[in-house]
Amino acid sequence: MRFLSLLLLAVIFSLNIQGQEQSWQGKFEPIDRLIAPPNTYRTASGAPGKAYWQQRADYVIKAELDEQNNILSGVETITYHNNSPDDLSYLWIQLEQNVNRKENEDFGYVFGGIRDSMNTRHMQFLTRAIDFPAGYTIKYIKDASGKNIKSLVNNTMMKVFLEEPLNAGDSMSFSIAWSYPITDRSMYLLSREGYEYFPEDNNTVYLIAHWFPRMAVYNDTEGWQNQQFQKLGEFALEFGDYDVEIKVPEDHIIASTGVLLNSKNVLTEVQRNRMAKARSSFDKPVMIITHEEAIANEKKKSTKMKTWKMSAKNVRDFAFASSRKFIWDAQAIKLPSHTTMAMSFYPKEGLPVWTEESTKAIVNAVEIYSEATFEYPYPVAISVNTSNIGMEFPMISFNGGRPVNGKMTDNAKAGMIGTIVHEVGHNWFPMIISSDERKWMWMDEGLNTFIHQRTMAERYPQYNHTTPKSIVPFMTRDKNLLRPIMTTSDNELLSQFGANFYMKPTVGLQMLRNSIIGPELFDQAFKEYCNRWKYKHPNPADFFRTLEDATAADLDWFYRGWFFTTDNVDMELTNVKWFTVEDQVNIEDQNKTVKANIKAENSGENAKDFSSGPEAITMVTTPNQSYGGFLSRLDEPAVRKQLSGKNIYEITIKNVGGLIMPVTIEWQFKDGTTEIDRLPAEIWRLNEYEIQKTFIKEKEVVQVNLDPNFEYADINMKNNTFPKKEEPSKFDEFKENNTGN
Ligand SMILES: [Zn+2]
């Protein structure tokens, strides 16, 4: 027994030692040491644990918009529920408006140093030459009995001191009175909210977000998530119910999170009737406010005020837009368990494309995301037109894209529709599957872009969408600049967060879905993650673990490479050796070495193509001692017969880029047909640098290609073929130009 094992080991050892001059990097080792360990709050399966808890914050807010001075002021009552097992002696409140104060760090400096010639806007970003008095004035913080509460502000975070600790399981209410000057969106880089002024008709569109002091998150992984707001890293927020009253000029129209409670007071009878009609219009939008009516509104300039009352249940934030410029359309979407309203609000500057495309894009997004994750739970899904960028909030998003002289290029239109789909999609990631955006941008942007790109591919096939090829230019960048996906949001460069946090995770998920796990199993696992973590706060480990738990796929090698390193995929097809064995052997002679016929000159190690024909291989009869204790014998003639007349190919593949991946091999035969073989990533387990694999083919091969359908974002396709090609063929160029970007 012992002797046989040793013999066997010796054979195996001699087989696997080749090509291992480089050190082992443990690419298949579990990532347990890279992610947070499981506990009673978050299980090893990736689900919320039995002891999972999260805080809750309910808000009652009364706010007023001063259009003359562009000031928003309000009083809010927060009821904070301490569901944690900890007693809290202070609370942290987010004051995001303070980021625009001159002394605070934001992204103004990203344009780098002074250059010979700079445009004024960039100079303003850099120097804050106009020192706008941004930020909150906190008028008071009072407890439920009206007593002042002590607080201290550290930039964008306010510490609220409690006289008595808020014990585990207890709730408390307190009120904050505040105001701030609304910022001009053109004045700051990365302005997600603020106002846009339209000089032509002397009107303003207000996009109001992170406008009221909001509870910071307190959770089991961070304690207080009180990392400062620096603009790139977005938000971490608790769920709660909102009762909001907003007083605006009476000719303004408000679009907001939640449902409108007093439509009789703020909408005309005509508008209400149109809205009722829209509730059963499932195929096209109904105009609630037409172009002509919006033009008439623009001229009113009323100084009288009226109050809109809204309510939103179980949301993590509340945003609104207000203007007398809005055109408004609405369409109903029938979902399995309820009907929701898709609505768009836009100034005339968005015509005609916003009437044609915005609400349609909302419908497409809501339908595909509901199918891919879980049904859209909210009563409305709103898209508001802005000058630039896209920004998401629960039930409402602000989306850039306007025609020039009524016209829009195909590219601009694709960008605008993509933005609306994407921002509506954020209702799932992170508004409901509420990950910590300030820490992990990829968890909302990456997962959201993945479904957003699927929506584009399914509903807008005429436009380009992301495929693995799209990430290649980024993956080939200087490694000194690249960061892994698992990098804290604010530590990424403004020039590459889009590629690293949006596109790279998207491509990773596409590879997992389409090539590594398979669509059916992957889609169920992705849904599992979404459903496990809806209305909760997932961490990266919860996502990683759930995908493995729900698929039986060991993906640690993939996570390790794709999420934790900046390596790229570059497989090199180093060599393909061609062999034949012919049936002209003396099968009677069991004791003699049998040699196959030599078909041609030995093609050898260094063959650059198949021109010298196959090499003959020597196949000897297995000596008796190799069978050890076995008395039975393998049917050796049958093995010979199987191989007789066939082509045997041994391929050698080198891992140049560092990332291990499955290998797809395309065989092109002499008769013009092709065949695909797939090897799982596990083929790299024993040698992370070079693998060999043998195949039997009936037909003669004229060319071998790796990753022919570009599934794995291989950054260099020139070394993927045998025989090596000097120049890309017309076909390759065509293929290269037609596989998306
Ligand atoms: Zn986004």
Instruction: Indicate the pTM of the whole model.
Output: 0.92
Q: 61 C-alpha vs ligand 1 centroid, how far in Å?
A: 27
Q: 683 C-alpha vs ligand 1 centroid, how far in Å?
A: 36
Tell which residue, 27, 33, 32, 31, has the closest CA to residue 685.
27
Cα–Cα distance list, 153 to 21, 136, 373 (Å): 58, 10, 39
Q: 611 C-alpha vs ligand 1 centroid, how far in Å?
A: 53
Residues 324/326/327/332 CA torsion (nearest 10 deg): -120
Q: 20 C-alpha vs ligand 1 centroid, how far in Å?
A: 43
Q: 690 C-alpha vs ligand 1 centroid, how far in Å?
A: 39
Give residues with Cβ within 8 angstroms of 187, minimum separation 6: 124, 130, 132, 194
Q: 434 C-alpha vs ligand 1 centroid, how far in Å?
A: 13
Residues 97/100/106/107 CA torsion (nearest 10 deg): 120
pLDDT for residue 239: 98
Q: 722 C-alpha vs ligand 1 centroid, how far in Å?
A: 42
Q: 555 C-alpha vs ligand 1 centroid, how far in Å?
A: 26
Q: 599 C-alpha vs ligand 1 centroid, how far in Å?
A: 61
Q: What SS3 string covers 609-653?
A: CCCCCCEECEECCCCHHHHCCCCCCCCHHHHHHHHECCEEEEEEE
Q: 448 C-alpha vs ligand 1 centroid, how far in Å?
A: 7
Q: 585 C-alpha vs ligand 1 centroid, how far in Å?
A: 67
Q: 444 C-alpha vs ligand 1 centroid, how far in Å?
A: 7
Q: 441 C-alpha vs ligand 1 centroid, how far in Å?
A: 9
Q: 336 C-alpha vs ligand 1 centroid, how far in Å?
A: 26
The secondary structure of residue 370, as a DSSP letter, is H
Q: 68 C-alpha vs ligand 1 centroid, how far in Å?
A: 33
Q: 426 C-alpha vs ligand 1 centroid, how far in Å?
A: 6
Residue type, 733: E
CB 648 within 8 A of CB 642: no
Q: 452 C-alpha vs ligand 1 centroid, how far in Å?
A: 10
The per-residue pLDDT for range 664-700, each reduced to its tens digit, is 999 999 999 999 999 999 999 999 999 999 999 999 9
SS3 256: strand
CB 178 within 8 A of CB 187: no
Q: 419 C-alpha vs ligand 1 centroid, how far in Å?
A: 8
pLDDT for residue 592: 44
Give residues with Cβ within 8 angstroms of 291, minimum separation 6: 327, 348, 351
The distance of Cα 414 from the centroid of its chain, to the nearest Å, equals 19
Q: Which residues of the chain have pLDDT under 50?
A: 1-7, 584-585, 587-603, 739-741
* β 647-655/690-697 pair status: antiparallel
Give residues with Cβ within 8 angstroms of 276, minimum separation 6: none
Using only C-alpha atoms, the chain has a radius of gyration, in whole angstroms, of 32
pLDDT for residue 110: 62
Cα–Cα distance list, 160 to 152, 184, 517 (Å): 7, 30, 48
pLDDT for residue 243: 98
Q: 445 C-alpha vs ligand 1 centroid, how far in Å?
A: 5
**Preceding omega of 37 cis (within 30 degrees of 0):** no
- Tokens 């099968």 belong to residue: 587
CB 675 within 8 A of CB 667: yes
pLDDT for residue 204: 98
In 191-326, beta strands by DSSP E: 194-198, 203-208, 214-215, 217-219, 223-225, 240-249, 253-256, 259-260, 286-289, 305-315, 320-323
Q: 332 C-alpha vs ligand 1 centroid, how far in Å?
A: 25
Q: 157 C-alpha vs ligand 1 centroid, how far in Å?
A: 24
pLDDT for residue 404: 93
SS3 81: strand
CA atoms in the 13 A half-sphere facing the CB of 644? 12
Phi-psi region of 613 (alpha: psi -120 to 50; beta: other; left: phi over 0): left
Q: 113 C-alpha vs ligand 1 centroid, how far in Å?
A: 29
Tell which residue, 341, 706, 741, 374, has the closest CA to residue 535.
374
SS3 113: coil
* β 240-249/56-66 pair status: parallel
Q: Which residues surround ligand 1, an ion (CB under 5 A)?
A: 445
CB 53 within 8 A of CB 84: yes
pLDDT for residue 593: 41
Q: 177 C-alpha vs ligand 1 centroid, how far in Å?
A: 31
SS3 549: helix
- Tokens 């002509």 belong to residue: 292
Q: 429 C-alpha vs ligand 1 centroid, how far in Å?
A: 9
Q: 230 C-alpha vs ligand 1 centroid, how far in Å?
A: 17
Q: 232 C-alpha vs ligand 1 centroid, how far in Å?
A: 11
Handedness of CA 596, 602, 606, 612 (dihedral sign): negative
Handedness of CA 160, 164, 169, 173 (dihedral sign): negative
**Could you count the other beta carbons within 10 Å of the beta carbon of residue 518?**
13
Q: 422 C-alpha vs ligand 1 centroid, how far in Å?
A: 6
pLDDT for residue 22: 82
Q: 671 C-alpha vs ligand 1 centroid, how far in Å?
A: 49
Q: How far apart are CA 348 and CA 350, in angstroms?
A: 5
Q: 672 C-alpha vs ligand 1 centroid, how far in Å?
A: 46
